[in-house]
Structure 1
Amino acid sequence: MPAILDIELIRTFHAVARIGKFSAAAEQLHKSPAAVSVHIQRLEAVAGGRLLNRDNQAVSLTALGKRLLLSTTELLSTHDRVLADLHGTRLAGRITLGVPDEYADHVIRDILPTFAAAWPNVVLELRTAPSYALRDQVQREKLQAAVIARPKELPDTESLRLTSTTPVWVGPINSVIASTQPLPLAVHAAQCPYRQAMVEALKQCARKSRIVLESPSTQAVKACVEAGLAISLIDRARVTDKMQILDDLPRVPEHEVVFIRAQASHADEAVNLLSRAMQQYFRL
């Protein structure tokens, strides 16, 4: 009998690959860590080899795991679209969603078109703003849901963790700008967690600084760094080939990207479906 790829096993594999930890993936999938391990073992038996390298801290993809992740992304998407096509027209509604500038391109290009195609009678209204401004709007019921970044916190029942991020200090390539005093900074808008992390880190080590650029635009911050005008703090995954990581500045703790929702939206099926789409397709 030929081997069969079980959609549930693939979904578990994608969650572990995206989050990087069995325990956190189990929490998001509402399964026990043991069940997640069994799913991965069963999928490895079908794939014919190890999919993940594991240690006490995190997991990483093997070469076979990378191939499987790439080749099954569209399979999962097609599977969910087929189910949505069977039931999508039955659901109607409106979702007001907030997204920070740094993740807006990914959410708008890679996640929302698939969601909109699956649920054509759900109207999406988007707003961009810094993470903490969006968090406040969700708490005041001005938005139904939002994707935000924040310092890593203890797990809670009010948010869905999408991924972890590692903030790093960056400067222009082949530059010693970090040794100058005061440090020239390109900072994000007020109410951005990375801006607050920058200020607190420099305050603790008593480094003087001056603001060269203040902008809500991540692209503007990156351009300022790449042009050699300033240093900044960005996700490690977003460091470009025109930047270098500055190791002589204070380490900033890990952050996380989460999906939060207003209290009144917990019974809203459209928002429930959007949260699942975010969980499945969010990537850095």
Structure 2
Amino acid sequence: MTAILDIELIRTFHAVARLGKFSGAAQQLHKSPAAVSVHIQRLEAVAGGRLLNRDNQAVSLTALGKRLLISTTELLATHDRVLADLHGTQLAGRIMLGVPDEYADHVIRDILPTFTAAWPNVILELKTAPSYALREQVQRGKLQAAVLTLPKGQRQAGEVLVTTTPVWVAAIHASASLTEPLALAVHAPQCPYRQVMLQALRQSGRRVRIVLESPSNQAVKACVEAGLAISLIDRGRVTKDMRILSDLPVIPDHEVVFMRSEASYTEEAIDLLGEAMQQRFRL
């Protein structure tokens, strides 16, 4: 009998690979952890080998798993586009979406074009701002949904898109010794990384001076790459012109979350936008 790739199994696999945990994937997919495990086992039977390395903390992709993830990303997107095309014109509405600057490029380039093509009568209005500012606007109903970065464990609502590991970075050519006061490039107030980095340095007794304060992630990265300051960014966003610093306080993991306003839970368009975020969000 010819093997068949089941879209539901692939969707489960992508959720586990993205979140790194069966429990997180189960929560996001509204399934039990046992059901997620069965889906992975069935997909491994079709793939002909193990897709995931598992331990008590998290899961990671095997070589076969990496190949399957890459080869099925477009398949999953195509499936959803075709399905949406059959019903897309029946859905209309307006979504006011907030996105932090550091993820705006990815969301705008890689996620929203597919969504708007599938649902042409849904109008999107975007706003960029620091995560805590966006959270407040969602809670007040001024935004219907937002992508937020929050310290892990502090999420009160919303669905986790991915877990991030903040790391301290300096220019690749910067001196190995860090002199005080430490020169910092920080984001605008109400940014979680700004708050946690200043708090960690203050608690460690380090003296600091702020060289750059900007709402622009690109400006912060440029300041670091130029050797003018150090900063805190996602490990997955470290560039070839940066190096990770190991002698500064360890910062706990954070989570990127898709959060909705209370009134939006009855809106199908935001359900679909949330699904698109879950399926395609990457660091």
Q: CA 1:252–1:104 in 2, change beyond 3 Å: closer, same or farther?
A: same
Contact map agreement 1:171 1:177 (CA 8 A) in 2: no
Provide the residue aligned with 1:202 in structure 2: 201
Contact map agreement 1:177 1:230 (CA 8 A) in 2: no
Provide the residue aligned with 2:99 in structure 1: 99
Provide the residue aligned with 1:47 in structure 2: 47
Provide the residue aligned with 2:246 in structure 1: 247
1:34 deviation in Å? 1.0
| Distance in 2 separating the partners of 1:177 and 1:195 | 23
Matches within 5 A, 1:181-200: 181-200=180-199
Provide the residue aligned with 1:10 in structure 2: 10
1:144 deviation in Å? 0.5
Secondary structure at 1:179 match in 2:
coil
Which residue type is aligned with residue 212 of structure 2?
L
1:63 deviation in Å? 1.1
Deviations 1:75-131 (A, max 9, x none): 111111111111111110000000000000000001000100110100000010111
Deviations 1:1-33 (A, max 9, x none): 100000010000000000011111111111111
Provide the residue aligned with 1:267 in structure 2: 266
| Distance in 2 separating the partners of 1:48 and 1:25 | 22
1:62 deviation in Å? 1.0
Matches within 5 A, 1:84-233: 84-153=84-153, 156=156, 158-176=157-175, 179-233=178-232
| Distance in 1 separating the partners of 2:173 and 2:227 | 10
Which residue type is aligned with residue 181 of structure 2?
P
Identity of aligned residues (%): 77
Which residue type is aligned with residue 35 of structure 2?
A
Provide the residue aligned with 1:65 in structure 2: 65
| Distance in 2 separating the partners of 1:264 and 1:249 | 42
Deviations 1:31-90 (A, max 9, x none): 111111111111011001111111111111111111111111111111111111111111
Which residue type is aligned with residue 259 of structure 1?
F
Which residue type is aligned with residue 108 of structure 1?
I
Per the normalisation by structure 1, the TM-score is 0.98
Higher mean displacement: 210-219 or 176-185: 176-185
Higher mean displacement: 97-106 or 80-89: 80-89
| Distance in 1 separating the partners of 2:155 and 2:226 | 39
| Distance in 1 separating the partners of 2:95 and 2:173 | 46
Secondary structure at 1:229 match in 2:
coil
Secondary structure at 2:273 match in 1:
helix
Contact map agreement 1:177 1:231 (CA 8 A) in 2: no
Contact map agreement 1:44 1:50 (CA 8 A) in 2: yes
1:174 deviation in Å? 3.8
1:153 deviation in Å? 1.4
Q: Which runs of 5+ in 1 are unaligned?
A: none
Contact map agreement 2:173 2:227 (CA 8 A) in 1: no
| Distance in 2 separating the partners of 1:273 and 1:203 | 42
1:177 deviation in Å? 6.1
Q: CA 1:251–1:178 in 2, change beyond 3 Å: closer, same or farther?
A: farther
Provide the residue aligned with 2:31 in structure 1: 31
Per the normalisation by structure 2, the TM-score is 0.98
| Distance in 2 separating the partners of 1:152 and 1:178 | 31
1:176 deviation in Å? 3.0
1:154 deviation in Å? 5.6
Secondary structure at 1:3 match in 2:
coil
| Distance in 2 separating the partners of 1:41 and 1:32 | 14
| Distance in 1 separating the partners of 2:27 and 2:154 | 12
Aligned CA RMSD, in angstroms, stands at 1.0
Which residue type is aligned with residue 237 of structure 1?
G
1:175 deviation in Å? 2.5
